[in-house]
Amino acid sequence: MTAPFLPPVKFDLLKVGHCQHPECIALRGGGRRAIDFPALVGLIEHPRHGLILYDTGYSRHFNEATRRFPECLYRIITPVSLPPEEELLAQLEARGIRADDIGIVIISHFHADHIAGLRDFPRSRFIATRKERSLREKAGRLGRLQRAYLRDLLPADFDSRVCHAEDQPAVPLPTGWRPFESGRDLLGDASLLGLDLPGHTASQLGLAFHAGHLGEVFLVGDACWKIEGLDQDRRPSRIAYRLFDDSTDYDDTFGRLVQLQAAATAPRIIPSHCAQTWDQLGGTTHVLRE
């Protein structure tokens, strides 16, 4: 049987813009003061498969896609800050990386703050779940907006460049990952495993791997918003649940993450919008092209 998480990969966390919401939205019982929700992106260097992104964060395409009514409501409700130096292409360029060097973009889910930069990578392949992709597309213009999905953010040839996680073989996870038992082998060498994290959206794709300097890492997208939520078993507000695809699935996924986080063998769990995680891990540079 293939051993999971070999080979280890290089990994950096990037912040590509942020928005603000009251703390109590992300953590039940929290204050009403606005806190930052950074849009975090994973940059991975695999020894054979090269450079890989997990999500893209915000981009200027978000502004273009929210110019007209009703899509402008998205930008009004969620004001976004994206200084030029935080744009993803600028951050990659500062590391000597061109857009065409990114071979694969793994998509956690299709909310705009995770896919806004996809059109900047015209030669990359994409990996996403088929279930997530097909459900996003069906809802009509207002329905798509209610689901925080902006179709204009997808490249026109997206469907010819995407591979679906469900089509890859399942690989057992180490026992230290219980209650999570298996993941989809996204690259065929068990180095990157995709885990289904339903609830926030229908079929969100988490990512598990071994980063040399951090040990085992679990990128969980929006399955929880703040790592404090897992440490203290504090879920998002009831208002936030109205935005989730399935409350029961969200609670089940969140509960499993709380259990994993409490284990002595827990991997480093990284939510996509956690300021505390960004404070601890942001700014390190392990992926660099001369």
Contact in structure between 190 and 210 (CB atoms under 8 Å): no
Q: Which residue is nearest to Zn ion (CB)?
A: 111
Closest CA to 9 of 185, 284, 211: 211
CB of 273 to Zn ion, least distance (A): 8
- In DSSP terms, 182 is beta-bridged to 172
CB closer to Zn ion out of 101 and 246 = 246
The DSSP bridge pattern shows strands 215-221 and 204-211 to be antiparallel
Residue 267 CA to residue 72 CA, distance in Å, equals 39
Residue among 46 and 111 whose Cβ is closer to Zn ion: 111
> For residue 147, what are its two tokens?
């689901």
Q: Shortest distance, CB of residue 149 to Zn ion, whole angstroms? A: 10
Min dist CB 141 to Zn ion, Å, is: 19
What tokens does 67 get? 């110019």
Nearer to Zn ion, 191 or 203 (CB): 203
Instruction: Give the closest residue to 277 by CA, choosing from 13, 18, 78.
Output: 13
Nearer Cβ to Zn ion (166/245):
245
Quote the least distance from Cβ 107 to Zn ion, whole Å.
11
Distances (CA, A) of 76 to 63, 70, 79, 86: 11, 11, 6, 21
User: Is the CB of 5 or the CB of 225 nearer to Zn ion?
Assistant: 225
Least Å distance, CB 54 to Zn ion, is: 14
Q: Which residues bind Zn ion (CB under 5 A)?
A: 111, 222
Q: Quick one: 87 or 222, whose CB is closer to Zn ion?
A: 222
Q: Is 47 helix (H, G, I), strand (E, B) or coil?
A: coil
* Selection from 181, 180, 183, 154 nearest residue 168 by Cα: 183
**Cβ 160 to Zn ion shortest distance, Å:** 25
